[in-house]
């Protein structure tokens, strides 16, 4: 039976965020379906107008989810029992705007959205423009780490590291986002002047880790 050594390689990469993902949520509601859809279309038109006015292409705003549903309120009847009463149609539209990280550009974008009558709900995330490069670096680090440990173990044990037999790796999606939170309450957003000064923050570096398992022959 062939002798083998199994080693888990660990890759760690720390990188600076260079990309911003701005997530926006719009909600339109009306008792009539057609009017709810018209309002949703108007909200999107208003949002696009605010963003194109500061240089974004219309195609920069991407839809990530579009959902239309019925909505109900709960009312108490004469007997004290709660009944579901139809209140209208709700159109929920989730959108995404991505651009290179620049605090002045981010502040300008927030100020533009603040003037938009659509009043979207916002969330801001800092990430990297090229996640593939981070994934590649992690795999290289994990491979180097595993081989170094395997060679050290073999040397200490008085044996020789032989041929690589298998590699086991789970191709899961990594969370390549900074832990830095940039929160702006809705009432603060609506009060934001178009010429508001920007604060030159530096988002925390993104620390990611991945592993792979290697099996070598021992000779």
**Domains detected in the chain:** 1-16+129-178+202-219 (3.30.110.170), 19-127 (3.30.70.2970)
pLDDT of residue 172: 83
Q: How far apart are CA 21 and CA 11, in angstroms?
A: 26
pLDDT of residue 75: 83
Greatest pairwise CA separation for the chain in angstroms:
87
Residue 69's Cβ-side half-sphere holds a number of Cα atoms within 13 Å equal to: 8
E-assigned strands of the chain?
4-15, 19-30, 61-76, 82-100, 121-127, 161-168, 206-218
Q: What is the mean pLDDT of each run of 10 residues along the chain (219 residues)?
A: 92 96 95 95 95 94 96 82 89 96 92 87 94 95 97 96 96 89 65 59 93 96
pLDDT of residue 142: 97
pLDDT of residue 63: 96
Q: Residue 186 corresponds to which tokens in the numbers above?
A: 């809705």
């Amino acid at each position: 039976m062939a002798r083998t050594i199994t080693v888990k390689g660990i890759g760690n990469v720390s990188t600076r965020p260079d990309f911003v993902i701005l997530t926006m949520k719009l909600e339109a509601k009306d008792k009539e379906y057609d009017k709810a859809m018209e309002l949703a279309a108007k909200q999107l038109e208003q949002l696009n107008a605010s963003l194109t006015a500061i240089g974004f292409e219309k195609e920069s705003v991407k839809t990530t989810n579009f959902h239309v549903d019925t909505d109900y309120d709960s009312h108490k009847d004469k007997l004290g029992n709660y009944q579901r009463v139809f209140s209208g149609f709700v159109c929920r539209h989730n959108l995404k705007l991505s651009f290179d990280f620049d605090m002045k550009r981010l502040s300008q974008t927030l100020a533009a959205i603040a003037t938009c009558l659509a009043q979207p709900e916002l969330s801001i995330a800092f990430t990297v423009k090229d996640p593939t490069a981070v994934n590649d670096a992690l795999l290289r680090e994990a491979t180097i780490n595993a081989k170094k440990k395997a060679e050290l173990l073999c040397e200490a044990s008085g044996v020789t590291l032989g041929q690589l037999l298998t590699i086991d790796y789970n191709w899961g999606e990594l969370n390549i986002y900074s832990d830095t939170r940039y929160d702006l309450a809705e009432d603060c957003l609506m009060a934001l002047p178009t010429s508001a000064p920007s604060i030159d923050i530096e988002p925390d570096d993104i620390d990611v880790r991945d592993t792979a398992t290697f099996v070598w022959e021992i000779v």
